Amino acid sequence: TSQNSSKFNEVLTPEKLIDNGVPVSPRTARNLAEIEYDWLAALLERIFLITFLFIFVLTSIGINLIGFFYWWMAPDT
The tens-digit pLDDT sequence of the chain (77 residues) is 555 566 666 766 666 666 666 677 888 888 888 999 999 999 999 999 999 999 999 999 999 999 999 999 998 86
pLDDT given at position 65: 95
Contact 24, 17 (CB under 8 A): yes
> Hey, is 71 helix, strand or coil?
helix
* AA letter at 54: F
Quick one: pLDDT at residue 25?
85
* Spans of all domains in the chain: 12-73
Q: What are phi and psi of 65, to 5 degrees?
A: -65, -40
The reported pTM is: 0.56
Quote the CA–CA distance of 56 and 58 in Å, as a whole number: 6
**Is-contact 14 29, C-beta < 8 A?**
yes
